[in-house]
Structure 1
């Protein structure tokens, strides 16, 4: 197996309730090029939270080995997604005086630290601190204030926190596979890198990532993330409804949902019949696809109703000119966008990774939105770290950084 430079490879690991996916990409001059994808059924998670360490570890190992085999590389570290009802978020302001009357990287760090100086429960830790914008003196809406003159710097952060134990359990499962976790990302934040355009974020858009165990929401307004939430209802509940209503095993219900599901019964124009396996030794039965749609619609309507309440609660429901973007494995269903438009009363589209090179035919699928998004998250995080490390190219750069450090600490 050929070992490529670790710096050239970025690996996204999407640990979901229904599946684990590992996606390998090479960081080239033309951008990210996907070279390997591995998937495995997920058995050890419930609603995004690890409930069985051994099963989760084995699922991760299978997915990573498959990705390694396809990409012809050895995976050593990953960017990992995290979700679940334990994740919470809030917005917090921060303000500091600008040193030397010119905004520097040190001032940015200090104002973000000031915004994070809020009480957080002992069982929670900060996962992300995402700035809405910055204000220098009376100049608002600034995205990159470094180098600007002023005496006062303000910001407003969107702070995402998660359960310490849930984070540790995810990391433990990954580390048991002899892998390092470079960074953790909220799954809907990662998905946004892959499926949302800059114009949508600027206009105002709600991303809804419908997975197996959770539906993850991220709201963007004026190009910045403003609200996140997790709803513990998703595709698995639809599968369970089908299994109960049609009296068929859960595994068969999932296959029926994926192959024949439709969220709007009126879209079914023919008298298509589907074969439904029975439990035990009973023979299979034939039912109309219309009957299946009548089982599916109420559950998705309930889910969209809960999501709509969350949009209203966020206070940004009337600022979503870009509408709603559905992604995730459980968003791939005929008529789902039509049903969502009925509930949200705004435009809805299905989102899938677009700007993908390499194995694009496989990766351009809503089921891989989080995995591909983690690659972009890793690329951006790596770039930001390099900037923060300050690869100074001249004596003046080095001297300015040393002077700023001494002024901040003495």
Structure 2
């Protein structure tokens, strides 16, 4: 639609286990993104990143997008969509190729990237991203842009992310059923990192954890690039379930208790504070101490953080995360979560909110919208690059490297 092109709008959709979020961002002339539209809808057709009901998921996407379109005064045609789930796999790989003409050309880089991604993966998996970590020219390491360098042997080190073919196709089907085209399917924690991490953290070494409703997504950065990713099936919905069982209250009321009164550390709740807990069916409501609620919530968050620490140790990245841990996502906003995380990780921990975006404050500074905002940032960085008249220059080759990050979908 011409109106969308003239305003340079980008649309991101985060299809979560508990809610679907759509965000519309306008690309400003100076390159910044202004959030001009936001919409959300309850999500009942997803479970831990997988589509379990096509119709319900489609309805949630349609409702969220319509709300965002109405606010932005536009009509979305194509969108960037996040993907996560326990089916996500990742590994580091390397490829080697000869330098044909004495100095590294764009063709040589394409060849070495093809060699790095030529790995055996299960038949039900598809490569989502091939992300360059560094290039090596004749043994010289730490090169980010090898084009033009002299040498005879070029090596590429990359991080490869794969996902279930059927899971991806189901997401495509739901989005396309709403009359939308998928610009790109993007790993959710990669998108969240675009929105929340600072350059110094990426360089020094940092672990970002996006705690959603169904999964907790882990991404480790070092030396300015991604080094490790993982997905854990423990997140905010497990906390809600614990409250529901312990207080014998339906899940919707348990979620309401968690959001309105939940704290992750007992010292954040006064013993005299009381909350009303609705009963099941015709059972009367009861009044319980808020301190009791905190004592139910704390063990589940502790368990999650211990699993994350164990994963970092397993992947040998715990000692290298000198920049600490960044927690983002809706379930990271609860009072006491940051303090509890610091005691478990024994590292500095901060709350990750979207950076360097303007517009709607309830979106631009909201950890629950980090993935959706990150999708816009990913889309901005990977827009088609127009090379200079000479066809050379750092900007042109940076655009080429960005193209490789796009992966296969």
Q: CA deviation at 1:3?
A: 2.7
Residues 114-125 of structure 1: matches in 2 within 5 Å?
Answer: 114-125=115-126
Distance 2:239 2:107 in 1: 49
- Residues 113-161 of structure 1, C-alpha deviation per residue, up to 9 Å, x if partnerless? 1011111111100000011111111211011112222111111110000
- Residues 300-359 of structure 1, C-alpha deviation per residue, up to 9 Å, x if partnerless? 111111111111111111011110000001111111011111111111111111211111
In structure 2, the partner of 1:84 is 85
4+ runs of 1 displaced by more than 6 Å? none
SS of the residue corresponding to residue 161 of structure 2 reads: strand
SS of the residue corresponding to residue 153 of structure 1 reads: strand
Which shows bigger deviation, 6-15 or 348-357? 6-15
In structure 1, the partner of 2:149 is 148
In structure 2, the partner of 1:21 is 21
In structure 2, the partner of 1:406 is none
Unaligned runs of 5+ in 2: 398-409
In structure 2, the partner of 1:197 is 198
Number of residues paired by the alignment?
Answer: 393
The verdict on how the C-alpha distance between 1:147 and 1:350 changes in structure 2, with shifts beyond 3 A counting, is same
The verdict on how the C-alpha distance between 1:178 and 1:282 changes in structure 2, with shifts beyond 3 A counting, is same
In structure 1, the partner of 2:268 is 267
Say whether the 8 Å CA contact 2:271–2:289 is kept in structure 1. Answer: no
1:233 paired to 2:234: yes
Say whether the 8 Å CA contact 2:4–2:76 is kept in structure 1. Answer: no
In structure 2, the partner of 1:12 is 12
Distance 2:367 2:184 in 1: 23
1:211 paired to 2:207: no
Distance 1:118 1:330 in 2: 36
Which shows bigger deviation, 146-155 or 183-192? 146-155
Q: CA deviation at 1:392?
A: 6.3
The root-mean-square deviation of aligned C-alpha atoms, in Å, is 1.7
In structure 1, the partner of 2:404 is none
Say whether the 8 Å CA contact 1:2–1:72 is kept in structure 2. Answer: no
The verdict on how the C-alpha distance between 1:354 and 1:396 changes in structure 2, with shifts beyond 3 A counting, is closer
In structure 2, the partner of 1:172 is 173
Say whether the 8 Å CA contact 2:13–2:21 is kept in structure 1. Answer: yes
Q: CA deviation at 1:4?
A: 2.9
In structure 1, the partner of 2:131 is 130
SS of the residue corresponding to residue 212 of structure 1 reads: coil
The verdict on how the C-alpha distance between 1:55 and 1:6 changes in structure 2, with shifts beyond 3 A counting, is farther
Q: CA deviation at 1:2?
A: 8.9
SS of the residue corresponding to residue 283 of structure 2 reads: coil
Residues 28-107 of structure 1: matches in 2 within 5 Å?
Answer: 28-30=28-30, 31-107=32-108
In structure 1, the partner of 2:400 is none
The verdict on how the C-alpha distance between 1:235 and 1:141 changes in structure 2, with shifts beyond 3 A counting, is same
Distance 1:57 1:180 in 2: 14
1:357 paired to 2:358: yes
1:280 paired to 2:281: yes
SS of the residue corresponding to residue 120 of structure 2 reads: coil
Which shows bigger deviation, 312-321 or 146-155? 146-155
Q: CA deviation at 1:64?
A: 0.5
Distance 1:55 1:239 in 2: 21
